[in-house]
């Protein structure tokens, strides 16, 4: 049985995997509260260096000799392997050890929590919600899965009782939350290593929605309503939960569901971004945000790093970086890139993320990547996983029907781009492909000059 903790009485917190985007946001939250923060991560990154600059102590080896005995709480992410010596050290019974999601659950119970769920679009939507509320004087605290350009952070400090969080479906983490407002954007199959099949994953999303507080609000993309089913909507109605749906597809909407279709085309390229903006507007309306305040927020929103981020543009040369790591996300990124590039040929560089995801969605990856003019495939980024026999980049590469395809290591990528003189580039992936971004930008600046 877990020891009961009171966050107010905790002073020293250790994060295992502190450099993760979600973990680092939580570390920043506790750091702002005046807690002593230390942690471990595998490698030093731009993000971990910023955490160190903010006063946190980080080790990059698993030596337990560097770990203080005076730790009140250990927080870990399920994305880390479970067998490292450091993790085992903390599980010896002397420490209080909690998942990141459990800690967010504690925070959600004590606040007016807005939880954003879905296999795609969580970061974009939670960032938009945060910015709309922040710019309307509501001053929320926010834990976001990406670096918001307006705040140069994945964490926004607020002074109200409103908290915005991303509700992560991986490892069923979102079931620890008790939101006042729940948002569900998309329910495509993913994380089948956890759920087994899509139907069980849909059960997880239904259970998440039912965790919404009584008399709370649920905001649904209309595309997900049919997948959830009438029985789920009936159960929500029994809990006196108000359901709002938005978007053009209205099949299966229950009588108690109010439908919205607002025009946000003036702010974003791509239907998915327009729909995310509508979700943010609907949240804003729950807190009294006016149309004028919403428009001002959208006008000043600078976006999120690695979410269709324009890294370099000059004359006929353009380079965009995107976090897409699922076939549906790649489809959206490529479609948006087509609109940006016009007649120019696009070179897409993709780093698959996880052996299991590569195995489960190999056909979808191949189909979407084939729509690029030129494709470069990098090796799989394993993250938390050990290799799966027979699963490599080759299973995608062999199914890509476009003959203009090539494989590359990260080390040889820049030389590959030099040899082919690619000048309309899209990098895609959720692994460490972001470490290539400054190198590609530097290459383009050398060839074509500064922007």
Summarize the confidence of residues 299-319 as an average pLDDT: 90
Q: In this predicted model, what pLDDT tens digit does every residue of 7-27 receive, in sequence order?
A: 778 899 999 999 988 899 999
| Residue 188 belongs to some domain of the structure | yes
Confidence (pLDDT) at 259: 41
| 304 Rama class: left (phi>0) / alpha (psi -120 to 50) / beta | beta
Supply the pLDDT for residue 192.
Answer: 66
Q: Which of 39, 71, 95 is the last residue of a domain?
A: 95
| DSSP annotation of 248 | S
Q: Is residue 4 part of a domain?
A: no
pLDDT confidence of residue 263: 44
Least confident of 15-19, 90-94, 157-161, 446-450: 90-94
Query: At 175, which CATH number?
Result: 3.40.1190.10
Residue 304 DSSP one-character state: B
pLDDT attached to residue 250 = 38
172 pLDDT above the threshold of 90: no
Residue 68: band (very low, low, confident or very high) from pLDDT cuts 50, 70, 90 = confident
Residues 254 and 277 in one domain: yes
Most confident listed range (86-90, 162-166, 220-224): 162-166
Q: What angle do the packed helices 291-300 and 271-286 form, to 10 degrees?
A: 140
Q: Indicate whether 365 pLDDT > 80.
A: yes
Total number of domains in the chain: 3
Same-domain pairing of 109 and 33: no
Is the same domain home to 315 and 295? no
The CATH number assigned to the domain holding 16 equals 3.40.50.720
Residue 137 lies in a domain: yes
Q: Are 220 and 153 in contact (CB under 8 A)?
A: no
Residue 222 lies in a domain: yes
Structure confidence at residue 267 (pLDDT)? 45
Tell me the chain's radius of gyration from C-alpha atoms. Answer: 22
pLDDT of residue 264 exceeding 70: no
Domain-terminating residue out of 234, 265, 300: 300
- Confidence band (pLDDT; 50, 70, 90) for 248? low
pLDDT at 310 over 80: yes
Is residue 177 very low, low, confident or very high in pLDDT (cuts 50, 70, 90)? very high
| pLDDT higher than threshold 80 for residue 424 | yes
What integer pLDDT is reported at residue 327 of this predicted model? 94
- pLDDT above 80: residue 252: no
22 and 166 inside one domain? no
Asked whether residue 66 carries a pLDDT value surpassing 80, the answer given is no
Do 59 and 90 lie in one domain? The reply is: yes
In a domain, 202, yes or no: yes
245: enclosing H helix or E strand: strand 242-246
Mean pLDDT, rounded, for 124-136: 95
- How confident is the model over 334-361, as pLDDT tens digits? 999 998 998 899 999 999 999 999 999 9
The answer to whether residue 435 sits within a structural domain is: yes
Tell me the average pLDDT across 77-101. Answer: 79
Q: Kindly tell me if the per-residue pLDDT of 436 is higher than 90.
A: yes
Task: Give me the CATH number covering residue 421.
Answer: 3.90.190.20
Same domain (yes/no): 327, 425: yes
- Is 434 in the same domain as 291? no
* Mean pLDDT in residue range 204-218: 93
Contact assessment for residue 79 and residue 20, using Cβ atoms and an 8 Å cutoff? yes
Reported as a pLDDT band with limits 50, 70 and 90, residue 165 is very high
Contact between residue 179 and residue 212 where contact means Cβ atoms under 8 Å apart: yes
Report the pLDDT value the prediction gives residue 414, as an integer from 0 to 100. Answer: 92
**404 and 355 in a common domain:** yes
Pick the more confident residue, 171 or 44.
Answer: 44
Collect all residues with Cβ–Cβ distance below 8 Å to 65 and sequence separation of at least 6: none
At residue 399 the predicted structure's pLDDT band, cuts being 50, 70 and 90, is very high
Higher-scoring residue by pLDDT: 318, 271: 318
* Statement: the pTM of the whole predicted model exceeds 0.85: no
Query: 118 and 261: one domain?
Result: yes
Mean predicted lDDT score pLDDT of the chain: 87
CA dihedral (159, 163, 164, 169) positive or negative: positive
pLDDT mean over 215-241? 89
* Residue 410 in domain: yes
Interacting residues of 299 by C-beta distance below 8 A, sequence separation 6+: 267
Q: Please indicate, yes or no, if residue 400 is contained in any of the structural domains.
A: yes
Instruction: Check whether residue 122 and residue 160 sit in a common domain.
Output: yes
Highest mean pLDDT range out of 278-287, 368-377, 411-420? Answer: 368-377
What band does 274 get if pLDDT is binned at 50, 70 and 90? Answer: confident
Mean pLDDT computed over 38-48: 88
Which pLDDT value is given to residue 82? 59
Task: Please check whether residues 273 and 153 belong to one and the same domain.
Answer: yes
Q: How many whole angstroms separate alpha carbon 382 and alpha carbon 363?
A: 19
Does residue 369 sit in the same domain as residue 287?
Answer: no
Nearest to 347 by CA among 417, 440, 275: 417
* pLDDT of amino acid 251: 34
3-state secondary structure of 48: helix
> Do the beta carbons of residue 327 and residue 367 sit within 8 Å?
yes
Among the candidates 300, 329, 362, a domain finishes at: 300
Region 248-272: mean pLDDT is: 43
Domain limits for position 246: 103-300
The candidate with the shortest Cα–Cα distance to 174, out of 69, 100, 246, is 100
């Amino acid at each position: 049985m877990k020891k009961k903790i009171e966050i107010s009485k905790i002073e020293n917190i250790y994060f295992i995997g502190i450099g993760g985007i979600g973990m680092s946001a939580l570390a920043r939250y506790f750091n702002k509260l005046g807690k002593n923060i230390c942690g471990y991560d595998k490698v030093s990154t731009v993000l971990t260096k910023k955490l160190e600059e903010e006063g946190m102590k980080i080790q990059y080896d698993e030596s337990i000799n560097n770990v203080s005995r005076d730790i009140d709480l250990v927080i870990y992410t399920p994305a880390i392997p479970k067998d490292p010596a450091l993790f085992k050290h903390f599980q010896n019974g002397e420490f209080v050890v909690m998942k990141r999601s459990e800690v967010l659950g504690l925070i959600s119970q004590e606040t007016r929590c807005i939880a954003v769920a879905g296999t795609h679009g969580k970061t974009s939507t939670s960032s938009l919600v945060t910015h709309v509320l922040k710019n309307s004087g509501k001053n929320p605290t926010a834990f976001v899965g990406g670096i918001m350009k307006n705040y140069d952070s994945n964490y926004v400090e607020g002074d109200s009782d409103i908290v915005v969080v991303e509700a992560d479906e991986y490892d069923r983490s979102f079931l620890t939350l008790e939101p006042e407002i729940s948002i569900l954007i998309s329910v495509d199959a993913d994380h089948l290593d956890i759920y087994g099949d899509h139907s069980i994953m849909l059960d997880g999303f239904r259970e998440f929605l039912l965790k919404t507080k009584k008399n709370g609000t649920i905001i649904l993309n209309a595309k997900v309503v049919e997948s959830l089913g009438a029985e789920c909507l009936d159960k929500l109605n029994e809990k006196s939960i108000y359901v709002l749906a938005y978007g053009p597809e209205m099949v299966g909407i229950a009588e108690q569901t109010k439908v919205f279709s607002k025009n946000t085309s003036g702010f974003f390229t791509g239907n998915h971004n327009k729909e995310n903006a509508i979700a943010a507007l609907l949240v804003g309306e729950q807190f009294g945000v006016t149309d004028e305040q919403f428009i001002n927020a959208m006008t000043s929103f600078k976006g999120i790093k690695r979410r269709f981020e324009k890294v370099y543009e000059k004359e006929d040369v353009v380079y965009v970086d995107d976090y897409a790591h699922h076939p549906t996300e790649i489809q959206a990124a490529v479609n948006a890139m087509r609109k940006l590039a016009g007649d120019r040929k696009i070179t897409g560089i993709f780093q698959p993320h996880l052996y299991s995801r590569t195995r489960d969605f190999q056909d979808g990856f191949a189909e979407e990547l084939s729509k690029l003019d030129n494709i470069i495939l990098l090796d799989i980024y394993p993250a938390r996983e050990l290799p799966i026999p027979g699963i490599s980049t080759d299973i995608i590469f062999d199914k890509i029907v476009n003959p203009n395809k090539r494989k590359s290591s990260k080390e040889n990528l820049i030389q590959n781009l030099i040899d082919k003189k690619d000048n309309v580039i899209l990098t895609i992936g959720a692994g460490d492909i972001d470490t290539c971004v400054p190198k590609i930008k530097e290459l383009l600046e050398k060839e074509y000059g500064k922007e």
